[in-house]
Every structure is written in C-alpha cells, then in structure tokens.
Amino acid sequence: MLELKQKSSFSLHKKGTHEFIKLEVKAEEFQNLVSGLMGLIPEHYVDPIYVARTLERLGKHAAAEKLKIKIPEAKKIRSGDIGEIAATDYIEDETLYTVPIRKLRWRDHRNMAMRGDDVIGILFSRQDNTIKFLKTEAKGNKALSTDVLEKARAELDLNDGLPAPHALSFMSERLNTMGEYELADRIEKAQLVDGIQGNQVEHLLFTFTQSNPDSLQKAAFDGYGGNIKQNSVGVKIDNHQKLIASVYQGVLDGLND
C-alpha cells in the first residue's frame, strides 16, 4: 500500500455530495513512495501466480524475463501506468470499492495505451445483493492542462456517465477466467438484465502530477453540473519525472540481479 494520505499533506473541499481532495506528497516521503510503487508494479503487469509457476518450472532468469517483456519502455506510457497503479491503490486503500482485475496485464503491446475506462472499482454487497461502480479516469502527466482535464471529463461523461459496456464485458470475462464467477455474474446481470442506473455509479478523477491540483483540477471539479457523485483526487509530487524513472529503473535493476 502506498498510504498516500499518510505521506501527504491533506485538504478536502466539498460541494454537495461531491468531494475534491488534494494530497501533496511530503519531500521526505519521496523515496518511500518510490519503494512503494516498485512493490506494486510487478503484479499490475503479470499475475504473481504465473510468475511463480515460471520460476518453479524454468528458474529465476525466465521468471524475470517474463516480467521484463511486459514493462513499457516509452516514458509517456510509464507515466500513464503509474497514474493507474496509484489510482488503483488509492481506491482499495481509501474507499469501500475494490478493483478486481489488474487491467494492464492484458495490454496488446507494452508501449501501447489501453482503450476504455482506466479503472473500474466495484462495491458488491452479497447481503443486500447490490452493486455499485466507480468509473475512474487516472492521469499521470507531469503537468496538468485544460485539454487533459477536458478529455478526462469527456471520458467520464461517455455512455451517460456509466461504465463503458465493453469495459464491463472485459471485466466479467476476465473474472470468469479467474474463477470469480459470482462477481462476474453479478456484473453481467447488472449490465445486461437489470440496467445500471446513475445512482449506482460514482466518478473518480485521479491525477498524479507535479501540477498544483488547486488550480485547473479544482476549477474543473467546481464546473461539474451533472448528477453523478464526483470524487476528484489530485496527488502533487515534486520531481515527478525523477520518480517515474526511479521506479521503473529500480524494478529493472531488481530483475537483472
């Protein structure tokens, strides 16, 4: 766990049911954040079960190569991936939602961005037989811009603000292959039979950037006029590019040992 709240100065702004959170990572926590991300990265690219099987059958070198060929080389892709990985960790650490699949494991090519919703969180109650969705756009840019935020808003508003149908199908199919049949069936039933309503969905805009979220991101949050509950989280990290480079180099160095 990155424990972003514990490593950051924290501020909260509320507008009705909507929440805007700014987390500014403390300078002395920089290396701890690097180490935390290094620990998270491998499982986002390859299922640990498959790595363990390769290690058992083919040895340490083959297991390391299995992961190395999945790690992106392009700086822009790495930065975007860190945004999604940090967002996933934040969702599971700070909200009631879980993220049942690690989407980056199924990327077509390590230097290509994936299509669809960045992250979808699930809140499933067996007792009440209810399900909710957290549709998430994650941005890992060095600097935020109006264009980046407008595109994120447009993605969140697609499909009347509901999770993309192909993203939900992708999730339920992956869950079936993982043996998570009950959750897969519940997602499929919500999508194909019951229909997902606006009150079953929340939005999360999560940014991991060197920019000050109090500026453009806060303005974008204040400008929302729809009915779906909004969560906007801006994580400010100085030396953003150094952090990205340090995280990936650290993982690669560990695999080369």
Q: What are phi and psi for residue 202, nearest 5 degrees?
A: -125, 155
- Give the domain range for residue 45: 9-256
91 part of a folded domain: yes
71 part of a folded domain: yes
Alpha carbons 12 and 232: distance in angstroms, whole number = 10
> What are the pLDDT tens digits along the chain (257 aa)?
899 999 999 999 999 999 999 999 999 999 999 999 999 999 999 999 999 999 999 999 999 999 999 999 999 999 999 999 999 999 999 999 999 999 999 998 998 888 888 999 999 998 888 999 999 999 999 999 999 999 999 999 999 999 999 999 999 999 999 999 999 999 999 999 999 999 999 999 999 999 999 999 999 999 999 999 999 999 999 999 999 999 999 999 999 88
Tally of structural domains, the chain: 1
Written as six digits, the tokens of 129 are 């037989």
Alpha carbons 46 and 41: distance in angstroms, whole number = 9
3 part of a folded domain: no
56 part of a folded domain: yes
4 part of a folded domain: no
112 part of a folded domain: yes
Written as six digits, the tokens of 239 are 């030396």
pLDDT number for residue 116: 82
2 part of a folded domain: no
1 part of a folded domain: no
